[in-house]
Every structure is written in C-alpha cells, then in structure tokens.
Structure 1
Amino acid sequence: MPSRPDRRLPSDRLLTVLTCPLCPSGLAPADGALRCADRHSFDIARHGYVSLLTGRRRAASADSADMVRSRAAFLRAGHYDPLARALAGLAAELAPPDATVLDAGSGTGHYLATVLDALPGAMGLGLDSSAPALRAAARAHARGEAVGWDVWQPWPVRTGCADLVLNVFAPRNGPEFHRVLGPHGALLVVTPTDRHLGELRPSLGLLAVDPRKEERLSRTLAAHFRPAHTEPLEYAMSLTPEDVTGLVTMSPAAHHVCPAELRRRVGELPAPVRVTASFVVSVYRPKGR
C-alpha cells in the first residue's frame, strides 16, 4: 500500500470534513497549524498528524508506544490479513470508490489503509488518542489522514460527511457514528468472539471475551442503527513465541502480567503455537435515513 511522507499538510479534502472542536467553525492551514475563524489553533505534528485534543478533552488513556510497536509488528506479519481482506471486500460493496471513510479508534491505520486500497478514490480519516499510534497512522496510506481525538467525545467532523465508518476492536460511540454518516452510509464493526485466542487464556492469563458481546453490541447501537449483515470469520494461526509475546503486549492484557512473567509463560508453550482467531464482522445502517 502506498505510504505518505512525513510533515505533509492536511489535504484540502480533509479540511472539508474537519471542524474546530471548540466552536462550529471550519479549519484552515496557518503557519504550520490548523486554525479556525475564532483563532483556535492546533499544531500539525512533524509526523504528519493533527491533534485536536486540548485541556479537559484529553483522553484519559491511550495505547503506549510498546503496545503500538507490538501491534504494528504483529499486523505486518500477516496474522490478521484474512480480517483485513474481509473488511476491504465489504467496504468495496458498501461505499463508492470516492468515499469518505472514518475509522474510530484507528490505531496504526492498518485496517483503514487496506480499505482505502479497495476504494481507489477514497479519503480516510483515522481518529485515535494515542500519539504513537497516530504517528504510524499518518504514514499508513497516501490517502489516509490521522487526527488525535477521544472517540467517546463528540467528533470534530461535519454532520453527514462520511460514507463509511470503521470500528475495529475500538470504543463504540453510537450517537456520533449516526451523526457523521451520510444518507446512504454504513457502519462496519469488528468484535472478537469468545473463541478468539481461547488457547492462550489459561496459560497466559488473558481476559475472557464476554460470550454476550454481540448482544451487547446490538443493544448499544439499537437506538441509532439497524443490523444489515453479519459475517463470522474464524481461522487458525500458527505463531512463534515472539508472535505470541507481541500479541499479548499489543493488547490491554499487557497490563495484567509483567514482561518477565509473560516471557516465562510463553517459553513454556509448545512451538509453533496454534491459536484460533475468531471475529464477527457486522454491517449496520443508520435509522431514519
């Protein structure tokens, strides 16, 4: 996938989507920053992303640099490529080639970049609160942009601007998903099933996935969306000990076991490690459209 250079100004198309988080105004480049008519100013990082998080709006938690490095390495190794291909295939069916795609909790931008490859004229915007993740996302694709934001808050984007919203293992803000989608827009959500990484949980102390996760997802979105399509995806992965360590380190499970103990536990696993990847990919359409 094509990468984009560092320190590039946000595209004109992005500026038609973004709004100032402190007032309703649009944003425009000014002296290495983005500024609105009321002179609220937001720096463009040298890595190519813009952070609109300020003061009380700063996210309480975000992925660390170690988590982002581990996630980038694991994804580069191709272990979740079947999921990325499934998202790209659905995106090509759901959105026009020149779509505006928003990725809520985009992380490194890996899945957004794959979707943009499937939509040759699309522009992508990834929202995330982690600076290390934003640095990676800003370089993930030539037509991808990265903006620092807490997706639990009202988003600094225009109402009805998006053709497709992605939500892959990330927080779900139903009201904002609904607000930003256009009349024919779609929401594409990925959640793990209770079988996901099941072989690793007893030995590595990973947190269990709630078996009613899909039911809770539907309840969370029910006020604003109707389910349109559900697609299960399950396959076996063959992982090295290094892959397993990265898989744990890239997730919130890393907070529950110290690095030395994790290495010890992983070292006791038979190599290669056979692990189940199990997801549900769901398509939702906004109600009232």
Structure 2
Amino acid sequence: MHASVITHLRCPVCAGSLNAANRALRCAAGHSFDLARQGYADLTAGRSVHAGDSADMVAAREALLEAGHFDVVSDAVSAAAAGVPGKGLILEVGAGTGRYLARALGPARVGLAVDVSKAALRRAARADPRIGAVRADVWRGLPVRDATADVLLDIFAPRSGAEFARVLRPGGVAVVVTPAPGHLAELVAALGMVGVDPAKPERLAASLQPWLTHLGTTPLRADLTLDRAAAAALVGMGPSAWHTDPAEVTATLATMAEPITATLEVHLSLWQAA
C-alpha cells in the first residue's frame, strides 16, 4: 500500500496512527492488521460486517464501467474533484472496483478505496498504484484520521453525514451521486429492477445534514445503447441483483430486440463540512 495513503489511516481499535511493517499495518498500541496478498487491508477489527457485493456483481459493474456506459458520471465526478483545492487524499466510500476514484485522482493526489466487499477491494487495490484499499463499514466508523481528506466520493453508496464531516478537512467537499427517479426506467419496467424512491432527495439531505452544507446539485443524463449482455450487467451490478431471478432476466432479454435503450439519470451533489 502506498506510504502516502497509510498516513491518512488510523487504527480501528484505538484510533492511533498506523505504520507499515512486514506486510501488515500496526499501531503503537500493538494492534496489527495483515495486508492481503491481493493488496488490501482488512480494518474491520473483527467486527461483523455484511459481505457486500458478490464477485459476480463486481464483475458486472466492471464490465459496464469499462465499456464506458457510465462515463458521463465518471467525467462529472472527476471534474468536481478537480475543482476542490488541495493535493492530498481523495477517499471513496463504497468504492467498488475503484474506477471512479482512479479517474478522479488527477496528477497529484492519492486515493483510499473503502468497501466491505472483498471481491471489490481486490480490484480497487489494482486500479491505480496511488490507491490504497481497506475493508471497513462506514456505519461502524471509517479507519481514517480526522480532517484528512480533500475530497470524499460517495457514488451509489451508503452515507454517514457525521463520519463524512469528521474525515473531511476544512474546506473539503463530499461528491455524492444518487439515482434520479427516471434512472434506467425502461429496464425497471421490463425486467423488474428495483425502482428509485421519489423521496430520494429528501432522504439524502436527512442523511447528510446538519453535518454538511449543500453546495448545489447537478442533474446528469445520458441515453444508453446496450446489447443484451450489457443490459443484464446493469441488473446484476446493483441492488436489483438481490431481487431478480437471473434466468427470468435472461429469458426476458431474449425477447427484446437489440440495441436495447435505457436512460441514465442521476444527480451529482456537492456537500461541505458545516
């Protein structure tokens, strides 16, 4: 793990500084956390966390992102991160494969990918040499020092306003991407995907205020042109994977003419520590 990333971490047990030693991260109090051979560190401190996305879900997401279907999101996130002063850390919560984080680093910053999914962290640890990857659950507290991140990315991921405000430095900004009500509406109707709660903006604000101040929201939209494999990946990469039958999805897609069209519609919002 990149030495500059380790300086931003803290022990999940005692909150002391961590240092690298013999393929492990250790604090002065003697707590030690092994670095997996795939390059990530498990900083859950033995506390039970859910398994997160499966290997199949992670692979589906990587295929969609690599094909460029979500470039409108990646480009906007990168531009937002570049607009925040500083040359320090970009932290991504629920980082998945780390592709958004790698794009957002720019020439001078280092990145920390946090996720609970081991399958995701294996990919995130390889996304860029300047990215460190750790297993942790935002709801149980991030193993990250106070006031240390220039930018925090949260893209279709869980949110904790108190933790976000704690780890952001003064003037730091959280870049949050959430689905809009029309996101993938065509596939939601045809394939039984989980729809977007119309009250999503209100729930987002409730999760981040009063710890963070809303700086503004930008709507992002793109028309997706998909083959059947890409449409199946869209179902399989997110929450709908837990609520749909893959065989039924495949059978329905077989009846649909290619290309399959769908609307990507999300909101990118910026939040600063209050």
Query: What band does the TM-score fall into relative to the shorter chain?
Result: over 0.9
Name 1:185's counterpart in structure 2: 172
State the Cα deviation string for residues 120-169 of structure 1 (Å, max 9, x = none): 11011010000010000000012111111111111111100011110000
CA distance in 2, matches of 1:20, 1:230: 34
Partners of 1:140 and 1:237 in 2: how far apart? 25
Query: Residue 235 of structure 1 aligns to a residue in which SS?
Result: strand
1:30 is displaced (CA, Å) by 2.1
Q: Tell me, in whole angstroms, the C-alpha distance in 1 between the residues paired with 2:270 and 2:60.
A: 28
Q: Distance in 2 between matches of 1:49 and 1:24?
A: 19
TM alignment of 1:35-50, pairs within 5 A: 35-50=26-41
Amino acid at match of 2:197: D
Letter in 1 for 2:20: P
Q: Which residue of 2 aligns with 1:231?
A: 218
CA distance in 2, matches of 1:204, 1:15: 43
- 1:108 paired to 2:97: yes
Shift of 1:15: 2.0
Offset at residue 258 of structure 1 (A): 2.0
- SS at the partner of 1:145? strand
1:74 maps to: 64
1:127 maps onto 2:117 in alignment = no
Contact kept, 8 Å, 2:13 with 2:45, in 1: the verdict is no
Cα pair 2:115 2:134 within 8 Å, conserved: yes
* Range 149-158 or range 124-133, more displaced: 149-158
Whether contact under 8 Å (1:58, 1:150) holds in the other structure is no
Deviations 1:185-232 (A, max 9, x none): 111100000100000112211111011101211122121111112110
1:78-137 superposed Cα distances (whole Å, 9 cap, x missing partner): 0001110011111111232x1311101100001101101xx2110110100000100000
1:219 paired residue number: 206
Q: What's the secondary structure of 1:167's corresponding residue?
A: strand
1:30 equivalent in alignment to 2:17: no
Matched residue of 1:232: which SS?
Answer: strand
Q: Is the 8 A contact 2:5 2:131 kept in 1?
A: no
3-state secondary structure, aligned to 1:214: helix
* Paired letter, 1:61: A
Partner of 2:42: 51
| Correspondence for 1:206 | 193
Q: What TM-score do the two structures reach when normalised by structure 2?
A: 0.97
1:155 aligns with 2:146: no
CA distance in 1, matches of 2:14, 2:131: 25
Please tell me whether the aligned partners of residues 177 and 266 of structure 2 are also in contact (alpha carbons under 8 angstroms).
yes
Post-superposition offset of 1:27: 1.3
Cα 1:36–1:180 shift into 2, 3 Å: same
Aligned partners of 1:24 and 1:247: how far apart in 2?
38
Aligned mates of 1:257, 1:158 — CA distance in 2: 39
Q: Are 2:20 and 2:26, in contact at CA under 8 Å, matched by a contact in 1?
A: yes
What residue in structure 1 maps to residue 183 of structure 2?
196
What SS does structure 2 have at the residue aligned with 1:94?
coil
Aligned-partner Cα distance in 1 for 2:75–2:25: 34
User: Hey, which bits of structure 1, 4+ residues long, moved more than 4 A?
Assistant: none
Q: 2:52 aligns with which of 51, 62, 68?
A: 62
* Maintained 8 Å contact 1:103/1:112: yes
2:14 & 2:157 partners in 1: Cα distance? 26
After superposing the two structures, state which structure 1 stretch, 33-42 or 182-191, moved more. Answer: 33-42
Deviations along 1:52-74, whole A, 9 cap, x unmatched? Answer: 1232x231230000101111111
Which stretch shifts more, 272-281 or 207-216?
207-216
State the alpha-carbon separation in 2 of the partners of residues 198 and 67 from structure 1. Answer: 20
Identity, in percent, stands at 43
RMSD (CA atoms): 1.1
CA distance, structure 2, for counterparts of residue 213 and residue 53 of structure 1: 29
Q: Partner letter of residue 131 of structure 1?
A: K
Structure 2 unaligned residues grouped into runs of 5+: none
* Match for residue 15 of structure 1 among 6, 12, 15: 6
The letter of the residue matching 1:73 is A
Paired residues of 1:241 and 1:273 also in contact (CA < 8 A): yes
Counterpart residue number, 1:7 = none
